[in-house]
Amino acid sequence: MAMVDAEAIVKELRETYASGKTKNYEWRVSQLKALLKIAEHHEKEIVDALNSDLSKPELESFVHEISMMKTSCKHALKELKRWMKPEKVKTSLTTFPSSAEIVPEPLGVVLVISAWNYPFLLSLDPVIGAIAAGNAVVLKPSEIAPATSSVLAKLLGEYMDVTAVRVVEGAIPETTALLEQKWDKIFYTGNGKVGRIVMTAAAKHLTPVVLELGGKSPAVVDSNINLKVAVRRIIAGKWGCNNGQACISPDYIITTKENVPKLLDAMKFELEKFYGKDPLKSGDLSRIVNANHFHRLSKLLDENKVVDKVVHGGQRDENNLKIAPTILLDVPEDALIMKEEIFGPLLPILTVNKVEDSIHFINAREKPLAAYLFTSNKKLEEEFVRNISAGGLLINDTTLHLAISSLPFGGVGESGMGSYHGRFSFEAFSHKKAVLRRSFGGDVPARYPPYTPEKVRFLKALLNGNILGLIRALLGW
């Protein structure tokens, strides 16, 4: 795609937006229904693409991507009228008589840059919000998941109104060309390094951004809990989510020294039950997305500091880009594996003397996208919720907060800015416009010059909310 194409696409979308078509309730509904049809009529194609890109198990493809996207679509269709309705708000004595409302309006022409790990869901979920809010939108899927990218381009080209919704495929040159255009909002899912590039490009045009980033999401495991259930839920959130290639996967575990042996035994036992004695042969684990990421993860594992810390797993098959679920114990804090988001099947366990120390450990680092706590201790739970700053918290499970449409999903600090899901998706792509209405009656002469002492007395009483003073000023006392 040449530079002029990006410019031409934005120009065409601007014309469509200017025509007012996308603001229309019926248009928004028709496009949301078209997205729903894509998921319903092409499930096999989507599952095949995800398998080709990531060897993603069919169950994960359906539950985590297709089904979640459909739920999101249906929710938007059901709530759209309510979201679009202006919200009446109170006015004050100062503007009496008057009425006021907040009117949501679309931002205009928006850009969605998606990620490769959930390439179907993370492409279309923000698009649902952009369309629901009445914008024209360009979607740039990730080239690292080429099969899904091409299915998205084909299906959106067939089902959607291409004068307002476009897919642009390609790699860095195409993304760069898109980022040079003026957008009304940019929604980016990915890592902090590219997030900074996106934000820098957006700054040139004062374009607002939503950055959905990642981070090292901790899972704190207390003692005296149902260890079997806790371990199964940690495994589901780590290896059962794209083999750890998920932004809200538990990145490391913190537990007490005395709790480690029991925790490790339980994890090894459940892992073998889930993925067999030779996990590299399991059809229920995604592969590493590409050779670059395989080598990046291998580098973390092969660092001198951690090479002897592997207590489970560690098998690799470079030809098939497979890495088995791997647990490391007591890795040094300055190891590479503790310095960057792992985004793969490696899970370090760190130990503390008492479980409360984990709070200080987490807070001494960048704010994560998610933080998980397994405990039956209410006091610890309250302390955790009060003191841990993260995009989202989940007590006694992992990753499921993502599925609740009434909760905002997004990061804080290094893990991102802005949020979406449910109504928050609509709001992410809307501007809340303030509208105040007055009649020609009720005109207060005290507003206008000349500013006499009586007028000053009257206005002071009015603005201070002094009723007695107001009466006296009106009576001229």
- 189 shares a domain with 42: yes
Query: Is residue 424 a part of any domain in this protein?
Result: yes
- Mean pLDDT of the residues in the chain: 96
**What average pLDDT score do residues 149-168 get?**
98
Query: Percent of the chain beyond pLDDT 70?
Result: 99
Inter-helix orientation angle 3-18/172-179, to 10°: 50
Query: Is residue 55 a part of any domain in this protein?
Result: yes
What pLDDT, on the 0 to 100 scale, is given for residue 14?
98
Q: Per-residue pLDDT for 238 more than 80? A: yes
CA 326 to CA 271: how far, in whole Å?
Answer: 10
Q: Per-residue pLDDT for 30 more than 90? A: yes
Please state the domain count of the chain: 3
What pLDDT, on the 0 to 100 scale, is given for residue 1?
42
- 230 shares a domain with 209: no
Q: Per-residue pLDDT for 3 more than 70? A: no
Distance of CA 294 to the CA centre of its chain: 25
- 102 shares a domain with 56: yes
- 391 shares a domain with 255: yes
Distance of CA 410 to the CA centre of its chain: 4
pLDDT, tens digit (0-9, with 9 covering 90-100), for 316-336: 999 999 999 999 999 999 999
Which residue segment(s) compose the domain that 19 sits in? 6-213+419-432
Structure-model confidence comparison of residues 442 and 346, the more confident one: 346
Q: Per-residue pLDDT for 476 more than 80? A: no
Catalytic residue check, 212: yes
- 251 shares a domain with 310: yes
What band does 248 get if pLDDT is binned at 50, 70 and 90?
very high
Query: Is residue 438 a part of any domain in this protein?
Result: no
- 452 shares a domain with 363: no
Q: Could you give the residue ranges of the DSSP H alpha helices within 98-239?
A: 121-132, 146-159, 172-179, 192-204, 227-238
CATH number at residue 159: 3.40.605.10
- Dihedral of CA atoms 224, 226, 228, 233 in degrees, nearest 10, equals -110
Q: Per-residue pLDDT for 4 more than 60? A: no
Q: Which of 60, 247, 341, 427 is catalytic?
A: 247
What band does 390 get if pLDDT is binned at 50, 70 and 90?
very high
**What average pLDDT score do residues 346-353 get?**
97
**What average pLDDT score do residues 90-100 get?**
91
- 125 shares a domain with 27: yes
Q: Per-residue pLDDT for 2 more than 60? A: no
**What average pLDDT score do residues 32-56 get?**
97
What band does 69 get if pLDDT is binned at 50, 70 and 90?
very high
CA 195 to CA 399: how far, in whole Å?
Answer: 22
Catalytic residue check, 356: no
- 458 shares a domain with 374: no
Question: Residue 91, SS3?
Answer: coil
DSSP state of 456: H
Q: Per-residue pLDDT for 402 more than 70? A: yes
Q: Which of 212, 341, 414, 427 is catalytic?
A: 212
CA 229 to CA 415: how far, in whole Å?
Answer: 28
- 251 shares a domain with 335: yes
- 171 shares a domain with 51: yes
Query: Is residue 368 a part of any domain in this protein?
Result: yes
Query: Is residue 121 a part of any domain in this protein?
Result: yes
**What average pLDDT score do residues 135-141 get?**
98
Query: Is residue 439 a part of any domain in this protein?
Result: no
Please state which of the ranges 112-126, 233-247, 370-384, 431-445 shows the lowest mean pLDDT.
431-445
Q: Per-residue pLDDT for 57 more than 70? A: yes
- 288 shares a domain with 174: no
Query: Is residue 256 a part of any domain in this protein?
Result: yes
- 120 shares a domain with 149: yes
Q: What is the value of pTM for the model shown?
A: 0.95
Query: Is residue 145 a part of any domain in this protein?
Result: yes
